[in-house]
Amino acid sequence: MYEIGGVVKVADKMQRGYSYILEAPVGEDFAYGFNPCFSPQQMLEMGIFEGKYCNDCIGELPKEWFARAKISNVADEKLNYFGIKSRQLLSVWKEKGWIYGQDPRGWFQWYCRYYLGRRIEKLDEIQIKRWRAFSRHAGQIKANCKTGDLTCRPKQRQALLQWSYDPFI
């Protein structure tokens, strides 16, 4: 199903009747300069978005991504790697104009689909630009925390993880 030329059909709580064609091998052929630290599966296993992000997307995404994922029917900050609240309501994302194109859940949904091999040039450019801009949080941790002190700025570290940056700096 997740091979070049494959068609992925979406039918979850937020999106129905949408499908996309995979144009690149899974986890490969990323745009120049886009070097996420973790795969979506690793991120889900580590604990992101309080376990409440894409737990109804199991039909779209590979089942193995959910085998050890920390997911829940209700948001639970204890499921996050750093054990803290770290997400905003989707309404806030919409209000701020952070939802683009065919991905009503935002950046991580885009990343999951990109990782699987979906390519939409203009959308990919926007989301990769947003990913690059997020690196400022790593700079803030480096400037304000001792190396390896994971208790320093845990909210920013959790946010870095949710954008596939290394939070263990």
- Domain range list for the chain: 7-162
Is the pLDDT reported for residue 88 higher than 80?
no
- pLDDT tops 80 at residue 84: yes
Task: Give the H or E element holding residue 19.
Answer: strand 16-21
- The H or E element containing residue 92 is helix 90-95
Question: Residue 75: which region, alpha, beta or left (left: phi > 0; alpha: psi -120 to 50)?
Answer: beta
Q: What is the mean pLDDT of the chain?
A: 93
Q: Which amino acid is at 39?
A: S
Token pair belonging to 54: 């894409």
> Could you tell me if residue 31 is left (phi over 0), alpha (psi between -120 and 50 degrees) or otherwise beta?
beta
User: In which band, very low, low, confident or very high, does the pLDDT at 66 lie, cut at 50, 70 and 90?
Assistant: very high
Rounded to a whole number of angstroms, the distance between the first and last alpha carbons of the chain is 36
Element containing residue 111 per DSSP (H, E): helix 107-116
Give the Cα-Cα-Cα angle 125, 129, 133 (nearest 5 degrees): 175
Tell me: pLDDT of 86 over 90: no
pLDDT surpassing 80 at residue 102:
yes
pLDDT, residue 58, reads 84
- Taking residues 91-109, what's their average pLDDT? 85
Q: How confident is the model at residue 56 (pLDDT cuts 50, 70, 90)?
A: confident
**90: pLDDT confidence band, cut at 50, 70 and 90?**
confident
Tokens of 44: 């889900």
pTM, rounded to two decimals: 0.94
Residues 108, 40 contacting (CB under 8 angstroms)? yes
